[in-house]
Amino acid sequence: MAKQAVYQVRMDEEIKNQVEELYRNLGTSFAEAVRIFAVQSIREQGMPFTPSDARGKSYGALSAYANPKLIQQEENAFEKAMVRKHADT
């Protein structure tokens, strides 16, 4: 499908920089992510995710069983593990 239409969005520069870096690290672009979002929105006839302000909260149906003591320990666990992994190499 030819890409002929242009859509412009104004956003905070820091958010733009962060999201562009995120998608660059994932091997794609923010523009492509927006296109994917649009196609998925059409398929689902709505937002392809549930917007929430769940920062710092447990997610999903099992959140009622989450151990509050472990939540802080597990925060950013993947990033911490990657730092340790690459520090060892």
- How many residues in total does the chain contain? 89
- Segment among 18-27, 29-38, 61-70 with least mean pLDDT: 61-70
Decide if pLDDT at 68 tops 90.
no
Report how far residue 79's alpha carbon sits from residue 87's, in angstroms, rounded to the nearest whole number.
Answer: 12
Report how far residue 51's alpha carbon sits from residue 55's, in angstroms, rounded to the nearest whole number.
Answer: 11
User: What is the mean pLDDT of the segment spanning 27-34?
Assistant: 92
pTM of the model: 0.55
pLDDT of 79: 77
Per the prediction, the chain carries an average pLDDT of: 81
